[in-house]
Structure 1
């Protein structure tokens, strides 16, 4: 009787219809509408379109000539590379270390996951206090240690590092939890057999843990690459409107600025389309480079 349920497709379709409607209204329609908006002339939120641009690709042409957009893409690429090393890389090391300790696993899992629970707005304000020029915690600490001069952490020379540190710190715990779950799914019998063969802890990590968690690392890599393209909240709190001197623009923050601050809704829509296209391309590349294997 149970097998006959799967042969009847109509009940399944009935239950899937609400999900399809939801996705059509809140995902597909806004996405298609956004693509159309990128070719039109829209001066502000809530205002009607004045028609299609002449020529229709005006916003995309402007984007290629926009120096701030070039800065945003360059910073986003740097963010992606830093994310792979500073988030996935550190999360993998932490997961391997915690997986090989006898006591305190739950404690470390909670501590490392805690930053992802905290609001990005709260974290942005917190790190603003840490990186203030004269009264920030970091400069006060350097002063106590006898440093000769204070550092302006929001100076263009240091601005990207100032922004990257809290972004990486916030999401390390997210990838840590995914990786530690993957490590916990590895059979203990493999480690017991390795111990019988005389393998050291380092050899167990190299020949058992890392190869068997490779597919999980691939998943984290794709999530990190696509997530770096969309990062917005914490950088915007720390550097609103791309300050200082527009050196910290990211694709997400620049899209928001053009849409809500500069009232260039059509231009912001074009940037959003580019973000989606870049996300698809980079995720495909990441899947090819870090191709999952069957064991």
Structure 2
């Protein structure tokens, strides 16, 4: 049997393992190494030892503090609204008898469009004063809004970011609901658990492990937000108020050419993602049913 021939398993696993070593592990380890030295140009030789100065600077840099606050705020909004809307849509589709497949395609559709393309679309929607959103506002009797101006800029990033990934989590929740054993559902219905009672006492509790997994995905996903935010409001506009950890890392590395500090921010993002994922697993421990 194939299971007794261990070398076959090694033969097929080795290429993927080698790929991870070369393109994931090695760059990350080099990133850690680079964060301790002065590097002023991307691809330049490593300079002198910086005496942990980059790591000291992380929590003194006002832009970095702003990016951390914005990232945590986006993380909270993503969990509440992205996860909440996706779960609500999945539960509603579960009650639909006809056309459920059509709704699944419609809700998943934003995932087909790249984040860069969505960013360009929302740039057009946000145009002042003649963009589509402002045309609707003025037709309703309201004044046009500077969507990317002071006070509205973070919302201009958060709204498309949340909307773009609702379909991904919607599909996960739908699959989780479909994997609930039918005999359990039938027994619950016989006992009178229908409608909202079914959702509250059966569906959501049995989705506990799926919800835990999606929480972790949302947390790590918020840490990785870059392309849409950068296209909508590059350089942390206006006035550095919309920096996220990912966009600020890009700004430092590729725009300001402060490569060693950019590497430090990248290490911080990875460590933060690991810590938050582990914390989520500790708080929401998987359950056996």
Superposition TM-score tier, normalisation by shorter sequence: over 0.9
Q: In the alignment, which of 158, 161, 171 is matched to residue 164 of structure 1?
A: 158
- 1:119 matched to 2:88? The reply is no
In structure 2, what is the equivalent of residue 103 of structure 1? 98
In structure 1, what is the equivalent of residue 21 of structure 2? 24
Paired residue secondary structure (2:59) = helix
- 1:36 matched to 2:33? The reply is yes
Paired residue secondary structure (2:260) = helix
Q: Output aligned runs, 1:122-141, within 5 Å.
A: 122-141=117-136
- Work out the number of aligned pairs and report it: 289
- 1:241 matched to 2:213? The reply is no
Q: Distance in 2 between matches of 1:192 and 1:14?
A: 46
Q: In the alignment, which of 187, 199, 203 is matched to residue 205 of structure 1?
A: 199
> Could you list the per-position Cα deviations for residues 71-116 of structure 1 after superposition, in whole angstroms to 9, with x for gaps in the alignment?
0000000011001011111111110010111111111110111101
Q: In the alignment, which of 252, 257, 266 is matched to residue 263 of structure 1?
A: 257
**Which residues of structure 2 form unaligned runs of 5+?**
none
In structure 1, what is the equivalent of residue 245 of structure 2? 251
In structure 1, what is the equivalent of residue 43 of structure 2? 46
- 1:275 matched to 2:272? The reply is no
Q: In the alignment, which of 7, 11, 26 is matched to residue 10 of structure 1?
A: 7
Q: Distance in 2 between matches of 1:34 and 1:197?
A: 58
Q: TM-score, normalised by structure 1?
A: 0.95
Paired residue secondary structure (1:65) = coil
Q: Output aligned runs, 1:50-199, within 5 Å.
A: 50-53=47-50, 55=51, 57-147=52-142, 149-199=143-193
Q: Distance in 1 between matches of 2:15 and 2:185?
A: 47
Q: Distance in 1 between matches of 2:141 and 2:17?
A: 63
Paired residue secondary structure (2:58) = helix
Deviation for aligned residue 1:7: 4.2
In structure 2, what is the equivalent of residue 288 of structure 1? 282
Q: Which moved more, 1:174-183 or 1:207-216?
A: 207-216
Q: TM-score, normalised by structure 2?
A: 0.97
**4+ residue stretches of structure 1 with deviation over 6 A?**
none
Residue 45 to residue 146, structure 1, CA distance change in 2 (3 Å): same
Q: Distance in 2 between matches of 1:219 and 1:195?
A: 28
Q: Distance in 1 between matches of 2:107 and 2:53?
A: 46
**Which residues of structure 1 form unaligned runs of 5+?**
none
- What's the Cα RMSD here? 1.2
